[in-house]
Structure 1
Amino acid sequence: MLSTMQDGNLSIANLLRHGSRVHAASEVVTWTGTGSRRSTYAEVGREAARLANALRGLGITGDQRVGTFMWNNNEHLVAYMAIPAMGAVLHTLNIRLFPEQLTYIVNHAEDKVILVDGTLVPLLAKQVPTFETVEHIVVVNGDPATLEVPDGITVHAYADLLAGQPDTFDWPDVDERSAAAMCYTSGTTGNPKGVAYSHRSIWLHSMQVCSTESMGLRQSDRALVIVPQFHAMSWGLPYAAMMVGASMIMPDRFLQPEPLAKIIAAEKPTMAGAVPTIWQGLLAQLNAAPQDLAPLREAVVGGSACPPALMDAFDKLGVTIIHAWGMTETSPLGSVSRAPGGLDEETAHGYRVLQGRFPAGVRARLVGDDGEELPWDNEAVGELEVAGPWVAASYYNADPQDNAEKFHDGWLRTGDVGAITPDGFLRLTDRAKDVIKSGGEWISSVDLENEVMAHPAVAEAAVIGVPDEKWDERPLVAVVLKEGQTASADELRGFLADKVAKWQLPEHWTFITEVPKTSVGKFDKKRLRAQYADGGLDVSHVG
């Protein structure tokens, strides 16, 4: 092989060495509710060493799984670095999963140690007796005496466990293709599925996050990391920030609109990342209590489609929303929508509302119902499939049938339906399971939701297909009105009249107080369908 290059190891240990030394002064700020506590990357490096030494003492000697049941804070970042750097596997536990799903993923991953925030102890405690492999639980920023555990499990205080430990560690030279971290899907159908990220995939993904065509994270940034660290590895922001030296602002448990507004005012972030529901809540807060958001320049929005009306509202506040698409199986970065240069404002906006352009590390194709690949012409619609060095090739220890249904020929079947422009921008129209087939024609629930949410009285709207004797399916729109606002089904249908084809206009409407959400903040249409089937929705019929 003709090459003169060294074969450097893309390990989390080397990422930690770099960040804690080269960017030693960069900050990690954790919000406390009334103010902030601060640490530097140099201190993160030393605390990571102490945690690694402590975990060695608890029997973590290889690739055992260490779970975290934690908010976004300094200690969680330390765990992000220490656990994979020492050769173990970080397993971020979703605090919003149903209890039986939490039990399932802890036992399926065979977690040996779990770190839990003190405020989350009551939530974890209920499930501890169902854990089959856990031997130690470490309570962070809380009293371990509040946690009762069965025989065979030992409870520790984080501060006591780390006290007296050396602040250096002999980080092992692990295989960059070995597992560094695990994250489970949110389990909207069946049990959650495990994705094991390698050291190499995290490195390459972090480099892309820092790319100017992607999130564009840079050393001068102060990143408000709202997206949970248990949600697809916080979109890779912690590792990318360590790579370039961007400071991080962690909101801990203070994720409601009012405290988020206070964090922005106090800590002056320059960029942020969160799902659309967070930004919708923050927008309502800002409408009620206006404040200057500067120097916040960009907010990356993913997890579900961002309504164009939300983008427009933040444009007026001086914050550009950057639309992104991805999933747990893609680490999660799949595409980011930055408009090509040199375009007029209207044309650029047309790109911004798309799900984004694929980076060099993600190959994409559209596949039709017949299995044939479709052209990139922004017209042909099919299921999106992707492949690349930070895209999963299988689920961890999964049923062969689950892997066969999701992965084939080296491609991940995303379950998302859409089109791709000739210049590589993704335009999603729906999830495969959410597309409404009416009279042999397809109706995009996402398109309808975006149009309804453009009405000034509407806070949220979710669209599902419901059975229809004549047309097989018709759309049902579930609407959440803004506080103090009114609108009728007739008014909203009239609002749509010149925005969608006449045959797509919904006849079925229901007004609810909140759209049910999944554990990661997406609209839970499965629960909406169940509520409709059970007669739990008060449905109006118009038109």
Structure 2
Amino acid sequence: MHGLMQDRPLTLTQLLRGMERQYADSRVITSYAAGPVTMTYLQTLERVHALAAALDTLGVSSHARVATFAWNTQRHLELYLAVPCSGRVLHTVNHRLFGQQIEYIQRDAGDEIAFVERSMLATVWPVLETAAAIRHVVVVDDGTADPVPADPRIVDYDQLIASALGTRYTFSVPDERTASGLCYTSGTTGRPKGVLYDHRSTVLHALMLQVADGYAIRRQDVVFPIVPMFHVNAWGYPYAAIMCGSTLSLPGPVTAPDRLAAQMERDRITLGAAVTTVWTTVAPHLHGKDLSAVRSLICGGGKVPTSLSEHYRSTIGVHLSSGWGMTETSPAATYVAQPDAPGIEPDRVDLLSRPGSSLPLVQFRIVDPPGSTNEMPWDGETPGELQVSGPTVAGRYLNHAADDGFTEDGWLRTGDLAVLDPRGAVTIVDRVKDLIKSGGEWISSAELENLLADHPAIAEAAVIARHDERWGERPLACLVLQPGQSLTADQVRAFLDGKVAKWWIPDDIAVVASLPKTATGKISKLQLRSSLGEAVGA
């Protein structure tokens, strides 16, 4: 027996109604080198209507993949809405990827048109110039004076908007399973894979970000997504903010840490989101700022070092909180623990830097990792591979077989080694591929890194496996030191003594000027192993 409720699809077009009516006066603020630019939701919506109409005029097909190479700006937000709400697919591309990766991604996605910030054009033009499938390249003015190639396919974004301003576009997406967005994984262990979101999953994800005991995004918030809008839809924050009428403060093309800290003060930010490396660089610029409006700062891309979280608490009165997710999970999959949450003791700051429990609609389970020789069933206490399911989780990759990265019963294999406590809270132990097997026993590189990050002389730390004739593998600590500091292997061993088992402690260290990063700001252990000749897998 079916229920008798109205059959209305969950699509992003519903967000447009709120922008026109109850949230018309909410603001979108974009920072540029010349200063901030502010528009209301209603003014932004007028440009969204014009952009959708202009796509039709250009002859962009009704289900086209539309590529963007863009900063966190209002213009990018206009694309976030006009593209999927007109039935097309928004394909946000990371311009920091290697040229060959961008070329592969565009070919695999089948992009028909590309929107490119002027300052990014020199980087991506060699790929776009030879891309036969790209019919138009729309250049977005970001305040720079970089040259624009003479090519008949090139169109100016603001002229495109002006040509259709005043148009009232009819937005209609009758099927909620229509694809809305496309993002590719980082490809650190192979070629990037396409994750194709639909309207239903994107709407549900935006709703989950508003859950009171989760991220609790609400109308009173000023949301500051520093995480790039090309990275998993800026973790879904733009859609969630628009859905409930929050003010959006966007960092634009200039993201120097001192400017980010100044923007937090200027716009009275209440909720910010960025990867750990960004919050680390912003930390020295917090002093003297009035950041009393901040209620939550979300960290992703790895566990938050306790010392960094404590620095934020002592400086502005708010801890950094850790969330967990993947491109394949839209990406938020856990809620952020708050200091007053059940089970959080006042002196257990480390609990705030763990991912927490799964958000509503997301399910976790732990199984033996692939390739395990354990003949006994998983006992519920030892770490195993974290697997995820739910309506905001990918069911397969674009142009890949259904079983590539997924179990027979349809759960996503995350590749993360984790444990679940009795309350269902997850603790990520390590990436399965980053575990170090020494003398037949496992060592967690992630746990060592978190401990090393608390050393006052260490700015960044990464631990990788190095071949050892006797033990098979031994941990090597790769360290970036604070300016003017020095450190010996003996001092590192003394610091770790008593914190972990003695056989976990690295025999040696490698002091490096910087740690290689992926295009999304995470430490690339693949590059690190490659640069250290003795490292396992180099």
The interval holding the TM-score normalised by the smaller chain is: over 0.9
Amino acid at match of 1:76: H
Name 2:337's counterpart in structure 1: 338
Bigger mean CA deviation after superposition, 198-207 or 130-139: 130-139
Name 2:212's counterpart in structure 1: 212
Shift of 1:85: 0.2
Name 2:92's counterpart in structure 1: 92
Q: Distance in 1 between matches of 2:167 and 2:489?
A: 63
**Distance 1:156-1:372 versus aligned 2 partners, 3 A rule:** farther
Shift of 1:293: 2.3
Do the aligned residues in 1 keep the contact of 2:310 with 2:349 (CA within 8 Å)? Answer: no
Shift of 1:147: 3.0
Do the aligned residues in 1 keep the contact of 2:388 with 2:414 (CA within 8 Å)? Answer: yes
- SS for the counterpart of 1:127 is helix
Name 1:47's counterpart in structure 2: 47
Do the aligned residues in 1 keep the contact of 2:420 with 2:426 (CA within 8 Å)? Answer: yes
Do the aligned residues in 2 keep the contact of 1:112 with 1:133 (CA within 8 Å)? Answer: yes
Shift of 1:189: 1.7
Once the two structures are superposed, the pairs formed by residues 163-174 of structure 1 within 5 Å of their partners are: 163-165=162-164, 166-174=166-174
- SS for the counterpart of 1:334 is coil
Once the two structures are superposed, the pairs formed by residues 58-73 of structure 1 within 5 Å of their partners are: 58-73=58-73
Do the aligned residues in 2 keep the contact of 1:141 with 1:158 (CA within 8 Å)? Answer: yes
Which one of the candidate residues 367, 383, 392 is aligned to 2:394?
392
User: What's the TM-score once normalised by structure 1's chain length?
Assistant: 0.93
Q: Distance in 2 between matches of 1:85 and 1:527?
A: 39
Q: Distance in 2 between matches of 1:264 and 1:34?
A: 17
1:9 counterpart = 2:9: yes
Q: Distance in 1 between matches of 2:16 and 2:416?
A: 35
Percent sequence identity is 38
Once the two structures are superposed, the pairs formed by residues 29-428 of structure 1 within 5 Å of their partners are: 29-141=29-141, 146-148=147-149, 154-165=153-164, 166-286=166-286, 290-317=288-315, 318-339=317-338, 341-343=341-343, 345-346=345-346, 349-368=349-368, 369=372, 374=378, 376=380, 379-398=381-400, 400=401, 403-428=403-428
- SS for the counterpart of 1:414 is strand
Do the aligned residues in 1 keep the contact of 2:139 with 2:155 (CA within 8 Å)? Answer: yes
Do the aligned residues in 1 keep the contact of 2:69 with 2:117 (CA within 8 Å)? Answer: yes
Q: Distance in 1 between matches of 2:379 and 2:140?
A: 52
Do the aligned residues in 2 keep the contact of 1:297 with 1:320 (CA within 8 Å)? Answer: no
Cα deviation 1:335-369 (Å, max 9, x = unaligned): 12315735463465353132210122111111113
Name 1:538's counterpart in structure 2: none
Do the aligned residues in 2 keep the contact of 1:33 with 1:259 (CA within 8 Å)? Answer: no
Q: Distance in 1 between matches of 2:397 and 2:57?
A: 31
Do the aligned residues in 2 keep the contact of 1:71 with 1:229 (CA within 8 Å)? Answer: yes
Q: Distance in 2 between matches of 1:499 and 1:470?
A: 24
- SS for the counterpart of 2:119 is helix
Shift of 1:290: 4.2
Shift of 1:454: 0.2
Shift of 1:145: 9.4
Cα deviation 1:36-69 (Å, max 9, x = unaligned): 1001111111111000000011122321101110
Q: Distance in 2 between matches of 1:168 and 1:341?
A: 47
Shift of 1:149: 6.3
Q: Distance in 1 between matches of 2:398 and 2:344?
A: 46
Shift of 1:91: 0.3
Amino acid at match of 1:223: V
Do the aligned residues in 1 keep the contact of 2:466 with 2:534 (CA within 8 Å)? Answer: no
Q: Distance in 2 between matches of 1:168 and 1:372?
A: 63
**Distance 1:234-1:244 versus aligned 2 partners, 3 A rule:** same
Unpaired runs of 5+ residues, structure 1, are 536-543
Do the aligned residues in 1 keep the contact of 2:467 with 2:534 (CA within 8 Å)? Answer: no
Amino acid at match of 1:478: C
Do the aligned residues in 2 keep the contact of 1:144 with 1:156 (CA within 8 Å)? Answer: no
- SS for the counterpart of 1:300 is strand
1:515 counterpart = 2:495: no
Shift of 1:294: 2.0
- SS for the counterpart of 2:255 is coil
Q: Distance in 2 between matches of 1:9 and 1:187?
A: 33
Bigger mean CA deviation after superposition, 64-73 or 252-261: 252-261
Amino acid at match of 1:473: E
**Distance 1:408-1:316 versus aligned 2 partners, 3 A rule:** farther
Q: Distance in 2 between matches of 1:371 and 1:72?
A: 49
Shift of 1:174: 3.0
Q: Distance in 2 between matches of 1:8 and 1:460?
A: 50
Do the aligned residues in 2 keep the contact of 1:20 with 1:44 (CA within 8 Å)? Answer: no
Bigger mean CA deviation after superposition, 237-246 or 248-257: 248-257
Shift of 1:282: 0.8
Q: Distance in 2 between matches of 1:261 and 1:438?
A: 43
- SS for the counterpart of 2:20 is helix
Amino acid at match of 1:413: R
Name 1:526's counterpart in structure 2: 526
Cα deviation 1:83-112 (Å, max 9, x = unaligned): 000000000011111111011111111111
Amino acid at match of 2:388: V
Q: Distance in 2 between matches of 1:304 and 1:349?
A: 16
Cα deviation 1:374-430 (Å, max 9, x = unaligned): 455xx32100000000000000012x3x84344431100000001001111001110
Shift of 1:271: 0.9
Q: Distance in 1 between matches of 2:174 and 2:93?
A: 24
Q: Distance in 2 between matches of 1:92 and 1:218?
A: 26
Computed over aligned residues only, the root mean square deviation of the Cα atoms, in angstroms, reads: 2.0
- SS for the counterpart of 1:433 is helix
Aligned residues: 527
Do the aligned residues in 2 keep the contact of 1:48 with 1:78 (CA within 8 Å)? Answer: yes
Shift of 1:452: 0.5
Shift of 1:510: 0.6
Shift of 1:19: 3.0
**Distance 1:387-1:512 versus aligned 2 partners, 3 A rule:** same
Q: Distance in 2 between matches of 1:10 and 1:477?
A: 48
Do the aligned residues in 2 keep the contact of 1:261 with 1:282 (CA within 8 Å)? Answer: yes
Q: Distance in 1 between matches of 2:375 and 2:334?
A: 23
Q: Distance in 1 between matches of 2:470 and 2:202?
A: 50
Shift of 1:373: 6.5
Do the aligned residues in 1 keep the contact of 2:118 with 2:139 (CA within 8 Å)? Answer: yes
Name 1:477's counterpart in structure 2: 477
- SS for the counterpart of 2:334 is strand
Shift of 1:533: 1.8
- SS for the counterpart of 2:485 is coil
